[in-house]
């Protein structure tokens, strides 16, 4: 005490606190130990230093010349990352800023800057629930300010008690952020109106009609059923629109997404409705999406309906057992010297060969395509292992049977094919392996051992397809014996085939490139290939573990 007083530099507020602690010592029943602890704390150098920093920030905050120009530098940094990300592979400057802004200490600095700029350094004490009834100790009163943002809570009538209870708290919503409302809390009053015997709809009306602060009187649920935030990320394999979903318990709370979106699942507590955020979305409020179980049921139901109406179903290559709902994904970081194979999928004739050829031509020491196997006999001038690996028909049939070929076919009585092993050996030798197999090979390729990056080469609409191909005297690939242009029927066949590929495999593609103008498509391919090499990308979670 004397030491504190003697030091003129000591914060007067701390000294006052210490003095009142001494006074309280006489009247309060607390132990010597507790007083000792508090007294030591109030005299500690650490606390004193903290108080000084705090005071400094506050006094600087009052000074006009210290006003922050912005308080959302973190958000701006994220936006800049979005903009420069795709250009990082093209320009050194973009790459530099892209790497810099991702550094944890830069992000930490920006975050601290924003906290100070937003004056987010005042101590926040937990709200003390007001106790209204002397004998009703368990009632809590919660006040939330009504804004344009939804409250982020849903209510229902409890089946057993018939009372209105909180059914769900949306992660990150106003109710959740308040930390004061929990699932299972019983609603007694809203803005002084007793809701006993009322329906959830009546309560909603009261809420809609109220302005400003909304006051809830709640009986807390026994034990808090808090929402545990999960780390699960999934890729959606279907489109979802809550506005057309008749079953969603609360339309406003729905989260819409499209096939291929990556979603962060924050809660799977409810068997039918998960809570999720779109990955990278800055809106912190989670939305409702159908759970895997619910979606599987819906798809099965739809299929039975469809089977009833249409008998003919093209299921040559469609695995009807597979129900595409959500696939758990994780980020795969680029591995130095170990490149993911790049696979171009598309309808025959769309231009995969052309794109592959151009890519390899940019750097023949980097991009390689596997040498195929054949059962035909070697011709004069051919070298085993150059144009083809020459093997006997028996050997090839045996290996095809054993599932060692990612694709194979017969042409003029001879077998041709590409083995999974030759892809692996290119990868292990440090090359970027590039493939353009038939789309049926996808199943065999999309495995953790190969980790391919799948690019879908999509044809443009009929008129543009015809115009671009005719303008370049494109050679039809449909007729092996004749070199001629594509016919209208062949263009139509290409479009039909692309629809089918999208239907079957659309959810698996990492990237879609429309091959309309060839040089534009090629540039997009170069960008995508660069991205695979330099950026962490989402892949099935099982590939990363
Ligand atoms: N964007 C384009 N504009 C004009 N012509 C193109 C375009 N893309 C490809 N072509 C031409 O179309 C023809 C067919 O292309 P390519 O052989 O690459 O098709 P493919 O997808 O590999 O088909 P297949 O699997 O049947 O071999 C080639 O003559 C090619 O130069």
DSSP class per residue in 72-100: -HHHHHHHHHHHHGGGTTT-HHHHHHHHH
CA of 470 to the centre of ligand 1 (A): 11
* Same domain assignment for residues 340 and 438: yes
Q: Alpha-carbon distance 204 to 336, whole Å?
A: 57
pLDDT of 2 strictly over 70:
no
pLDDT tens-digit series, residues 479-525: 777 788 999 999 999 999 999 999 888 888 999 999 999 999 999 99
Residue 480 in any domain: the answer is yes
Q: Residue 43 corresponds to which tokens in the numbers above?
A: 């005299």
CA of 351 to the centre of ligand 1 (A): 3
Residue 44 in any domain: the answer is no
pLDDT of 313 strictly over 80:
no
Residue 14 in any domain: the answer is no
| Helices (H) then strands (E): counts for the chain | 18, 21
CA of 439 to the centre of ligand 1 (A): 16
Residue 313 in any domain: the answer is no
Q: What confidence category does residue 135 fall into, taking pLDDT thresholds of 50, 70 and 90?
A: very low
Kindly give the number of the ligand 1 atom that is closest to the alpha carbon of 347: 21
* Same domain assignment for residues 81 and 210: no
Closest C-alpha among 193, 185, 238 to residue 215: 193
Instruction: Indicate the angle between helix axes 488-505 and 462-471, nearest 10 degrees.
Output: 120
Which are the contacts of 194, defined by CB distance < 8 A and separation ≥ 6?
188
The ipTM is 0.96
* Same domain assignment for residues 406 and 497: no
Assess whether the C-beta atom of 474 lies below 6 angstroms from ligand 1: yes
pLDDT tens-digit series, residues 36-55: 888 888 888 889 998 888 88
pLDDT of 124 strictly over 60:
no
* Same domain assignment for residues 188 and 104: no
CB 359 within 8 A of CB 525: yes
Residue 479 in any domain: the answer is yes
Q: Residue 443 corresponds to which tokens in the numbers above?
A: 């199943």
CB 366 within 8 A of CB 458: no
* Same domain assignment for residues 341 and 406: no
Residue 123 in any domain: the answer is no
* Same domain assignment for residues 352 and 486: yes
Mean pLDDT of 151-170: 85
Domain with residue 200: its CATH number is 2.30.42.10
CB 458 within 8 A of CB 515: yes
* Same domain assignment for residues 359 and 442: yes
Q: What confidence category does residue 545 fall into, taking pLDDT thresholds of 50, 70 and 90?
A: low
* Same domain assignment for residues 93 and 203: no
Q: What confidence category does residue 134 fall into, taking pLDDT thresholds of 50, 70 and 90?
A: very low
CA of 436 to the centre of ligand 1 (A): 12
Assess whether the C-beta atom of 356 lies below 6 angstroms from ligand 1: no
Q: What share of the chain is helix, strand, coil (3-state, %, to 5)?
A: 40, 20, 40
Q: Alpha-carbon distance 71 to 110, whole Å?
A: 9
Which are the contacts of 490, defined by CB distance < 8 A and separation ≥ 6?
349, 476, 478
DSSP class per residue in 513-524: EE-SSHHHHHHH
Domain with residue 458: its CATH number is 3.40.50.300
Which are the contacts of 79, defined by CB distance < 8 A and separation ≥ 6?
none
CB 202 within 8 A of CB 191: no
Residue 293 in any domain: the answer is yes
* Same domain assignment for residues 271 and 416: no
Report pLDDT for 510: 94
Which are the contacts of 537, defined by CB distance < 8 A and separation ≥ 6?
331, 332, 453, 510, 531
Assess whether the C-beta atom of 233 lies below 6 angstroms from ligand 1: no
Mean pLDDT of 363-378: 95
* Same domain assignment for residues 485 and 355: yes
CA of 352 to the centre of ligand 1 (A): 6
Q: What confidence category does residue 5 fall into, taking pLDDT thresholds of 50, 70 and 90?
A: very low
CB 477 within 8 A of CB 485: no
Which residues span the domain enclosing 296? 229-307+320-332
For 300-304, 349-353, 368-372, 448-452, which range has the lowest pLDDT when averaged over its residues? 300-304
Classify residue 392 by burial, with Cβ atoms within 10 Å: 0-12, 13-18, 19+. exposed
* Same domain assignment for residues 454 and 507: yes
Q: What confidence category does residue 542 fall into, taking pLDDT thresholds of 50, 70 and 90?
A: confident
Name the domain count of the chain: 5
Report pLDDT for 317: 47
Q: Is the pTM of this model over 0.80?
A: no
Q: Alpha-carbon distance 419 to 126, whole Å?
A: 64
Mean pLDDT of 20-39: 81
pLDDT of 9 strictly over 90:
no
Q: What confidence category does residue 168 fall into, taking pLDDT thresholds of 50, 70 and 90?
A: confident
Assess whether the C-beta atom of 468 lies below 6 angstroms from ligand 1: yes
Residue 171 in any domain: the answer is yes
Nearest CA to ligand 1 atom 25: 348
Domain with residue 283: its CATH number is 2.30.30.40
* Same domain assignment for residues 356 and 453: yes
Report pLDDT for 266: 84
């Amino acid at each position: 005490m004397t030491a504190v007083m003697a030091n003129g530099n000591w914060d007067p507020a701390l000294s006052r606190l210490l003095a009142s602690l001494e006074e309280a010592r006489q009247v309060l029943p607390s132990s010597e130990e507790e007083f000792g602890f508090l007294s030591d704390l109030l005299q500690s150098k650490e606390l004193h230093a903290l108080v000084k920093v705090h005071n400094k920030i506050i006094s600087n905050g009052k000074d006009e010349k210290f006003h922050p120009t912005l308080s959302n530098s973190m958000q701006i940094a994220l936006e800049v990352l979005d903009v420069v990300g795709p250009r990082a592979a093209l320009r050194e400057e973009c790459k530099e800023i892209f790497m810099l802004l991702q550094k944890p200490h830069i992000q930490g600095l920006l975050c601290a800057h924003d906290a100070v700029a937003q004056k987010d350094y005042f101590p926040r004490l937990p709200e003390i629930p007001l106790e209204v009834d002397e004998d009703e100790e368990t009632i809590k009163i919660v006040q939330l300010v009504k804004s344009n943002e939804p409250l982020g809570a849903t209510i229902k009538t409890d089946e057993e008690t018939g009372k209105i209870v909180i059914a769900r708290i949306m992660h990150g919503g106003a109710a959740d952020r308040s930390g004061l409302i929990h699932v299972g809390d019983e609603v007694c009053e809203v803005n002084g109106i007793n809701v006993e015997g009322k329906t959830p709809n009546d309560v909603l009306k009261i809420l809609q009609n109220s302005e400003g602060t909304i006051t809830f009187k709640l009986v807390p649920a026994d034990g808090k059923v808090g929402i545990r935030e999960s780390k699960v990320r999934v890729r959606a394999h279907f489109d979802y629109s809550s506005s057309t979903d008749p079953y969603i318990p609360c339309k406003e709370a729905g989260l819409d997404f499209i096939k291929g979106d990556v979603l962060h699942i924050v809660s799977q507590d409810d068997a039918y409705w998960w809570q999720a955020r779109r990955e990278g979305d800055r809106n912190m409020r989670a939305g409702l999406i159908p759970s895997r179980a619910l979606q599987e049921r819906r798809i099965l139901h739809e299929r039975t309906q469809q089977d009833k109406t249409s008998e003919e179903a093209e299921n040559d290559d469609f695995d009807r057992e597979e129900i595409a709902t959500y696939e758990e994904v994780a980020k795969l970081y680029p591995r130095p010297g170990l490149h993911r194979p790049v696979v171009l999928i598309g309808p025959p004739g769309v231009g995969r060969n052309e794109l592959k050829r151009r890519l390899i031509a940019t750097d023949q020491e980097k991009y390689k395509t596997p040498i195929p196997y054949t059962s035909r006999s070697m011709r004069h001038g051919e070298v085993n292992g150059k144009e083809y690996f020459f093997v006997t028909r028996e050997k090839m049939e045996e290996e095809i049977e054993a599932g060692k070929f990612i694709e194979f076919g017969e042409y003029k009585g001879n077998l041709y094919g590409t083995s999974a092993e030759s892809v692996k050996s290119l990868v292990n030798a440090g090359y970027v392996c590039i493939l353009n197999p038939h789309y049926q090979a996808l199943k065999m390729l999309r495995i953790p051992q190969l980790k391919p990056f799948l690019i879908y080469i999509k044809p443009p609409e009929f008129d543009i397809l015809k115009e671009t191909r005719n303008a370049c005297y494109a050679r039809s690939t449909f007729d092996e014996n004749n070199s001629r242009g594509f016919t209208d029927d062949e263009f139509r066949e290409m479009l039909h085939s692309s629809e089918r590929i999208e239907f079957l495999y659309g959810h698996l593609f990492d990237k879609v490139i429309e091959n309309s103008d060839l040089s534009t498509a090629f540039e997009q391919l170069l960008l995508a290939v660069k991205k695979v090499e330099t950026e962490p990308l989402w892949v099935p979670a099982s590939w990363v573990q």
